[in-house]
Structure 1
Amino acid sequence: MKKSFSLLFIIIVSNFINAQTSSQKPKLIVGIVVDQMRYEYLHRFEKHYSNQGFKRLMQEGFFAKNTHFSYIPTYTGPGHASIYTGTTPANHGIIANNWYDKFENKSVYCVQDNNANSIGVEGEAGQMSPHRMLNTSIADQNRLDTQFRGQTFGVSIKDRGAILPAGHTANATYWFAGGNDGKFISSDFYIDELPKWVKKFNKNTKQYIKTWETLYPIENYIESGSDLNDYEFGFKGKSTATFPYDLKQLKSENNNFDILKPTPFANTMLTDFAEKLIKNENLGQDDDTDFLTISYSSTDYAGHNFGVNSKEVQDMYIRLDQNIADLLNYLDQNVGKNNYTLFLTADHGAVHVPNYLKEKNIPAGYFDAKKLNKAMNEFVNEKFGSSKLIEGFSNQNIFFDYEELEEQNVEVDDLQEALYYFLLQYDKIDRVYTREMIENSSHSTAFSRNVANGFHPKRSGDVIYILEPAVISYPQKGSTHGSYMSYDTQVPLIFYGQGVLQKQSYQSYYIKDIAPTIVALLGIAQPNGTTGSVISEVLK
């Protein structure tokens, strides 16, 4: 009798423990990347936010207030890849959005795949895949762990924002084809045709083209600059970059559906699409964890167009707060408040418009890369007797032609050293790194470590130059990004939901720490190139 009772007790306890373990594992992971979101936007516009969006995440989740990227260049492609692989471009290989491929002797795009075919649209817009990303993502690891029962979907306005986070094994990724198409599309890397629910959604995208006015009275937007200024591009067909914007009237001069991209209505459309996906693909409805990656791209388009200090960017984030609130409410009702875990971050920040900074007596400026490239070729020709020693230029990387070096009997070290001193003396260039320095140095400074973390030995150049703070190679309106300065590297990071502690922290963390933290929560293997660390503070 005692043995039977003991055995029954053990079985009950064992089942209880297993049930507890199972219930603690979220049914759905939602990863949100807000493209070009500076950390300060969470606080700068906070008084305009509702209690159900950004504030809910900040107050009820784990809010890491000192999170940075640890490499350059800080672009969209490398940012998304680094967040989800838990490492840097030195490992995952996405060194930029576009880069010069010295093996193909041409510029390549980070997700371009000529072996793939477009699904849902004619032409090249869907010829995309993650094949250039060398490591697995956290979503890939979850697929492997669940024997591919756990589903993965990625959505974004940008193709790279949908593809790189979802990884190599996603069930599908969807991104928005603008122009005359105005629909979400995909690639046959994932699927053979668009599902019925996607086709149905695509029939109604015209509804998002409307008049853009500020959500609240514009005079209350005291956290941003004047609506009328000299630092914004605006839209073709409108003489000033000022509210309101009649998108229906302007769309024909702005490539039709492309006009949505720098507006908050594309964020709303993406949120609606994500919610339809959750419902139609039954995400979070069984014991195998699913993944949904969402990348809000319109914030980046707006920043490039209007600048980080614009009324347009402020209204964009106030409206995005409502999208986040709507998404959280949808997850509560359809997945269950205790059944999902979400994180929110950004792929990079952005610099103030340099002309604006200069007006305020802050050092800043613009850099003519084409002028430099011409000067470099002239210098190399004069010093070494050949104008062909430099094969290509890309993202402040200089690529050598090694066949020409051998033919001209020029030593690689001699060319590197000559360009090092030439570039250091060039106006508005702050630092210079050669391949030899990057590969053989101990990288004792944060700057050199960031350069090394962004350097892939087979894909990066032979000499890299870094511009001075707030100096950009860009038109003289709008904002951009790409440096290792804090305005580009510091981004929000919030974990929220099942298994996450409610806490705020000023501890220093890096973007590459997100993936190991999520896999620790799930109890699965890390992505195969991970170099980040688990943020143990996050987990209950």
Structure 2
Amino acid sequence: MRLFSLLAAILLALLLLAPDTVAEEPARPRLVVLVYFDQFRGDYLERWKDEFGEGGFDRITGDGAWFLNCHYPYAYTVTAAGHASVATGCAPAVHGVIGNDWYERSVGKSVNCVGSDRHEQVPVRTLEGADNDEKKGAKGGVSPDRMLKPTIADAIKLGTDGKGKVVALSLKNRGAALPGGRAPDACYWMDGGTGLFVTSTYYREVLHPWVAEFNKTKPAERWRGKTWDRFRTDLDYAKLSGPDDIAGESKGAAGQGRVFPHPFEPKDPKTKPAYLSAVYTSPFGNELLLDLAEKAIAAEGLGTDDAPDLLSLSFSSNDAVGHAWGPDSQEVLDVTLRSDRIMKRLLDVLDAKVGRGKYVLAMTADHGICPLPEVSRKQGKDAARVQPALAAKVEAFLVEKYGKGAAKWVEAASGPWLYLNAKAVKAAGVKQADVEEELARWLVKRDGVEAAYTRTSLVAGAGPVDATGQMVARSFRAERSGDVYVLLKPYHLPTAVLDTGTTHGSPWEYDTHVPLVVYGAGVTPGMRKERVTPLAMAAILSTAAGVKPPTGATAPVPTGLFTPVRK
């Protein structure tokens, strides 16, 4: 009996000394925050790491998981495709948002990714000063209906029985509507004609009181009469980026000019949209969005109860600045330095309102950016501005090859896609696949063209055998894509009319490489070099929130990202 008591005592002692059991799930945050910096290329965090201040990018990369080798797996890298792919966890071929807009054969016209004729802007839209994407749809209605798969936001709504709140904000309508999913509690973007934040009747009939109060202060007006100059007078901007005046740079918006300082006031002071365009094409558009985000966090009580909430923020001004001056400009350096301070301010607000250690924040971008061809040529690269696939040139080739019929051969051109006219093909008595192949062979002989992919080969899965072709296939959706995809060579821009500035939309590394940083509750910190995709974000944030990832999400959570909880 004494021996039994002794053994029992020893066993009890061993149990008390044993380590806690380890659960598979990470610590549960009250709030998950998805941050996009539009057109923030993947090398910026490393390139200017030593110039960032304390508490911003250095905090999330030092105390969080920083994935240095993160790339989009598809070819047509544009804003809408990036936002939708991150939010859904799948490629455009699956979620259907193949571009910012595309040609819809069923209606015979181009459609915007979030444009909706069935809804109206709230309050009534102002077309003056709006960009081309915003002008799609006369009433400015917006909805996520063209996105075919659910998002992180939808997964949180489903996984919490609707208790988890979702707030999605951006300067761009697509930057808010796509991550916001089907039923966000708040979804807002900026009206380019007024500088006020608006929504759509898809979401609600009147503005939230906190948005209406914010708009009453006319927040976008505070930079009138001021200029945008360098943020850090102690830094050698030319050494860290490049000369202030670079061949190929544009003059920005509303007469901002190619060199610092950049004015906000247009030549005609009565032209409000020109002033607003200048604010948008500067770091201060990001400040405007963060001001609204602070209001949202407080007014909606994000992260203040047990049901996890989602805040999606898409900072758009980096994109406008990068398009105008290019990634090697002093302007992009400056907006990046100021983005670091945006991140610090956001983290400080989250610490104060939600509590340090009680949220998870993940940062990425929707795409990268091509260097200015003029800069690339100085570096010895083959680079140029070309337009080999102009519809008129393609039409002339097909007429010469097959003859002129009752209908034009080219029905439409949108992004990298050429849409052939089925009526012309049928009238000529030729096979669609043969026309596609002939056109593709002709295109690859044009200056600046790397390859051309046909619908027939993409549908059959026979054509895209190389890695780049597989990326094109992931950007292809049969009912929305065209018949021939034209791929330009690296460092070549698809433009002859726009002879300054730059763009994105290729499968080349400068466009696919973006940051992926995950910081906060339960995250195992460290710098990681394995190749990952930003599509993993859907699984990452869903797992952090304790809900199932959205159906359609394919990329898994990177191994070891979350530290298991001891219970």
Calculate the TM-score normalised by the size of structure 1. 0.92
Could you tell me how far apart the structure 1 residues matched to 2:306 and 2:204 are?
24
What whole-Å deviation, never above 9, does each CA across 1:106-148 have from its counterpart, x for those lacking one? 1111110011111123355741111110100011011011111
Question: Does residue 211 of structure 1 match 2:214?
Answer: no
8 Å contact kept, 1:184–1:202: yes
8 Å contact kept, 1:165–1:293: yes
2:201 to 176, 188, 192: 188
Could you tell me how far apart the structure 2 residues matched to 1:134 and 1:90 are?
10
Aligned residue in 2 for 1:245 = 262
More helix by share: 1
Could you tell me how far apart the structure 2 residues matched to 1:522 and 1:200 are?
31
SS at match of 1:336: coil
Aligned residue in 1 for 2:213 = 200
Question: Does residue 325 of structure 1 match 2:344?
Answer: yes
- Note the C-alpha offset of 1:219: 5.4
Could you tell me how far apart the structure 2 residues matched to 1:225 and 1:423 are?
35
SS at match of 2:107: coil
SS at match of 1:536: coil
Equivalent AA in structure 2 for residue 452 of structure 1: A
Equivalent AA in structure 2 for residue 242 of structure 1: V
- Note the C-alpha offset of 1:178: 2.3
Aligned residue in 2 for 1:13 = none
- Note the C-alpha offset of 1:445: 2.2
8 Å contact kept, 1:28–1:291: yes
Question: Does residue 224 of structure 1 match 2:241?
Answer: yes
2:471 to 444, 450, 470: 450
Equivalent AA in structure 2 for residue 224 of structure 1: S
2:182 to 147, 164, 168: 168
Question: Does residue 406 of structure 1 match 2:426?
Answer: yes
Aligned residue in 1 for 2:395 = 377
Could you tell me how far apart the structure 2 residues matched to 1:29 and 1:239 are?
37
Question: Does residue 59 of structure 1 match 2:75?
Answer: no
What whole-Å deviation, never above 9, does each CA across 1:187-233 have from its counterpart, x for those lacking one? 11111111221122113311244321111117522211111233222
SS at match of 1:174: strand
Could you tell me how far apart the structure 2 residues matched to 1:177 and 1:157 are?
8
Aligned residue in 2 for 1:301 = 320
Aligned residue in 2 for 1:8 = none
8 Å contact kept, 2:255–2:266: no
Aligned residue in 1 for 2:11 = none
Aligned residue in 2 for 1:234 = 251
Question: Does residue 130 of structure 1 match 2:144?
Answer: yes
SS at match of 2:367: coil
Report 1:266-281 matches (<5 A): 266-281=285-300
- Note the C-alpha offset of 1:422: 1.0
Aligned residue in 1 for 2:523 = 500
SS at match of 1:500: coil
SS at match of 2:145: coil
Could you tell me how far apart the structure 2 residues matched to 1:37 and 1:351 are?
12
Question: Does residue 418 of structure 1 match 2:447?
Answer: no
Equivalent AA in structure 2 for residue 303 of structure 1: G
Could you tell me how far apart the structure 1 residues matched to 2:231 and 2:139 are?
33
Aligned length: 524
Could you tell me how far apart the structure 1 residues matched to 2:488 and 2:541 are?
35
- Note the C-alpha offset of 1:432: 1.1
SS at match of 2:451: strand
- Note the C-alpha offset of 1:524: 2.1
What whole-Å deviation, never above 9, does each CA across 1:5-34 have from its counterpart, x for those lacking one? xxxxxxxxxxxx9xx999922111100001
Aligned residue in 2 for 1:514 = 537
- Note the C-alpha offset of 1:237: 6.5
Report 1:6-405 matches (<5 A): 24-123=27-126, 124=138, 126-179=140-193, 181-204=194-217, 205=219, 206-209=221-224, 210-217=226-233, 220-221=236-237, 222-235=239-252, 238=255, 240-248=257-265, 252=270, 255-369=274-388, 372-386=390-404, 388-405=408-425
What whole-Å deviation, never above 9, does each CA across 1:410-451 have from its counterpart, x for those lacking one? 211211121121112122111111112212236442201100
- Note the C-alpha offset of 1:487: 0.3
8 Å contact kept, 1:435–1:462: yes
- Note the C-alpha offset of 1:333: 0.9
2:481 to 460, 463, 469: 460
SS at match of 2:413: strand
Q: Choose 36-45 or 438-447, whichever is displaced more.
A: 438-447
Calculate the TM-score normalised by the size of structure 2. 0.88
Q: Is the alpha carbon distance of 1:403 and 1:236 closer, same or farther for their aligned partners in structure 2, counting shifts above 3 Å?
A: closer
SS at match of 1:29: strand
Could you tell me how far apart the structure 1 residues matched to 2:24 and 2:561 are?
18
Equivalent AA in structure 2 for residue 318 of structure 1: L
Equivalent AA in structure 2 for residue 148 of structure 1: G
8 Å contact kept, 1:116–1:187: yes
- Structure 2 spans left out of the alignment, 5+ residues: 1-19, 127-137
Q: Is the alpha carbon distance of 1:236 and 1:434 closer, same or farther for their aligned partners in structure 2, counting shifts above 3 Å?
A: closer
Could you tell me how far apart the structure 2 residues matched to 1:430 and 1:235 are?
30
Aligned residue in 1 for 2:15 = none
